[in-house]
């Protein structure tokens, strides 16, 4: 995807920040890898802290609303829907939010499968699924951050098309 808008370095930096949300939300699935490879946890300390202290923090405990919900809504309504913000930042924010939605759906399916099986999923299967979710989230977000730093629009199948559609409305 190519738009004719110039991308200044500050816009590149701002377009990388929303990807902290899906990486931080996906870091909980890396627990098995972190146990097997303890040194792997060090680069992910900031994301673990962000998940534990911001995303999972119950802001409205009665309704079950956490910081993740308010951050999601804030990014959507204050960044994606504001046409004064450059398209590059809005596109990358929407793409990160779509990654977050996919993670949420996968988390629900993972919990449903664990509830449907009698004794839970076998540990090998659940560990494989969790590792796949963690590695996939990290790689996709890393790919998008790399392209944001270069000042290019990342082309992730389905996500990029949906993000560009949402930013054009």
pLDDT tens digits, 139-150: 999 999 999 999
Give 125's pLDDT tier (boundaries 50, 70, 90).
confident
Instruction: Measure the CA–CA gap between 47 and 61, rounded to whole angstroms.
Output: 23
Higher pLDDT residue, 3 or 83?
A: 83
pLDDT in tens, 25-73: 999 999 999 999 999 999 999 999 988 888 888 888 887 788 888 999 9
Residues 18 and 96: beta-carbon distance below 8 Å: yes
Q: Which of 152, 67, 138 is nearest to 99 (CA)?
A: 138
- What local confidence, expressed as pLDDT, does residue 86 receive? 92
- What local confidence, expressed as pLDDT, does residue 3 receive? 54
In a domain, 129, yes or no: yes
Give rounded-to-5 percent helix, strand, coil for the chain. 75, 5, 20
Alpha-carbon distances, residue 108 vs 14, 100, 113, 166 (angstroms): 30, 12, 9, 24
Residue 111 has pLDDT above 90, yes or no: no
CA atoms within 13 A on the CB side of 127: 9
In a domain, 164, yes or no: yes
Give 5's pLDDT tier (boundaries 50, 70, 90).
low
In a domain, 46, yes or no: yes
- What local confidence, expressed as pLDDT, does residue 135 receive? 95
Q: Which of 105, 107, 76, 71 is nearest to 90 (CA)?
A: 76
Give 169's pLDDT tier (boundaries 50, 70, 90).
low
Mean pLDDT, residues 93-110: 93
Identify the domain containing residue 108 by its residue range.
9-168
Residue 11 has pLDDT above 90, yes or no: yes
**Domains contained in the chain, number:** 1
- What local confidence, expressed as pLDDT, does residue 138 receive? 95
In a domain, 3, yes or no: no
In a domain, 157, yes or no: yes
In a domain, 1, yes or no: no
In a domain, 4, yes or no: no
Q: What is the mean pLDDT of the chain?
A: 88
């Amino acid at each position: 995807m190519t738009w004719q808008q110039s991308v200044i370095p500050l816009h590149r930096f701002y377009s990388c920040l929303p990807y902290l949300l899906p990486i931080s939300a996906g870091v909980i699935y890396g627990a098995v890898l972190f146990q097997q490879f303890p040194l792997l946890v060090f680069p992910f300390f900031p994301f673990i802290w962000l998940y534990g202290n911001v995303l999972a923090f119950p802001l409205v405990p009665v309704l079950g609303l956490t910081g993740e919900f308010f951050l999601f809504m804030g990014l959507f309504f204050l960044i994606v829907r504001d046409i004064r913000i450059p398209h590059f930042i809005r596109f990358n924010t929407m793409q990160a939010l779509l990654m977050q939605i996919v993670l949420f759906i996968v988390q629900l399916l993972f919990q449903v499968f664990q509830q449907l099986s009698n004794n839970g999923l076998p540990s090998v299967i659940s560990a494989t699924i969790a590792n796949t979710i963690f590695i996939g989230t990290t790689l996709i977000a890393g790919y998008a951050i790399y392209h944001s730093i270069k000042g290019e629009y990342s082309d992730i199948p389905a996500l990029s098309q949906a993000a560009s559609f949402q930013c054009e409305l």
